[in-house]
Amino acid sequence: MTAPSDAEAAPALRLALEGYLAHLAVERGLSRNTLAAYRRDLERYLAFLAARGRAEPGDVVERDVEDFLTAVRTGQDGRAALSAASAARAVVAVRGWHRFWVRDGVTPTDAAHAVRPPAQPRRLPKAIPVEQVTALIEAAGLGDGPVPLRDRALLELLYATGARISEAVGVDVDDVDRTPGHGYARLFGKGGKERVVPLGSFALEALEAYLVRARPALASAGRGTPAVFLNTRGARLSRQSAWAVLRTAAGRAGLGDAEHLSPHTLRHSFATHLLAGGADVRVVQELLGHASVTTTQVYTLVTPDSLREVYQLSHPRARR
């Protein structure tokens, strides 16, 4: 077992880490949250290398990377053990750093090239039935004043576009076209990638009601932010507040698993319902803003129950 060490990281490795993080920020334009995750994982790797006495990038060998993966999965480096998903993220960060060393001429070979992240089980995204989505949205709009109109418009937008919660709260007034039959929302996803997603009639109606009848009252308390969704102080609604909107609506709607619902549930439901309705997976990929269709294809997986149902209905000798 590798004991936690108080040894300081070697100056050369510390300098190499700061240079790589600067590259990710400036050249690749990674978000603040993504950079924070990279720093967390690579700081742990740096401490692991310090405990092994590695002083220069060229001192690191493949066995170090392999043992680091074992350490983060088991906690053998004296820190909390990580799940397969979190360990995979850490390995991806380490592999990226080693590739950067090679490209920058720091090391002649990539010590992490052969080390693969741990395999993760493919889980079906958690979606809820259309009836529950409807109940959720209607519950969000209960009550008087501007807040219920805002909350309903927010959930309608999330379900109509499949937006991530950060994308939804990031929408500005000029990003929404409310033309009946041709309305759309402009969303800015990971890395600032822009996509335009159509808005259906329900979402357009809810947004129109909110923007005309409710947003001006909320905006009067603030300083003129362009955000569509505002809090009661007139500032842009935060992701945490948007989460609270959904949880409150789920409780009102009487959804039994309300504590497990998240804004991402509506994103999953958006994709699942589109595919169930006959949408092409590549169209759904574009709407979700996935870089690869492989990410979207997880929504095409079927559950054992649905597989059994189709088999029993379709096979001529499935039942008497």
- Residues annotated as catalytic are 164, 190, 264, 267, 290, 299
Are 253 and 138 in contact by the 8 Å Cβ rule? The answer is yes
SS3 253: helix
Side-chain half-sphere exposure of 214, counting CA atoms within 13 A: 24
Phi, psi at residue 172, to the nearest 5°? -105, 165
SS3 148: helix
Phi, psi at residue 125, to the nearest 5°? -60, 145
**Nearby residues of 196 by Cβ (< 8 Å), 6 or more positions away:** 184, 185, 186, 187
**Nearby residues of 13 by Cβ (< 8 Å), 6 or more positions away:** 46, 49, 50, 54, 55, 56, 57
Element spanning 56, H or E: none
Report the alpha-carbon distance of residue 232 to residue 212 in Å, rounded: 16
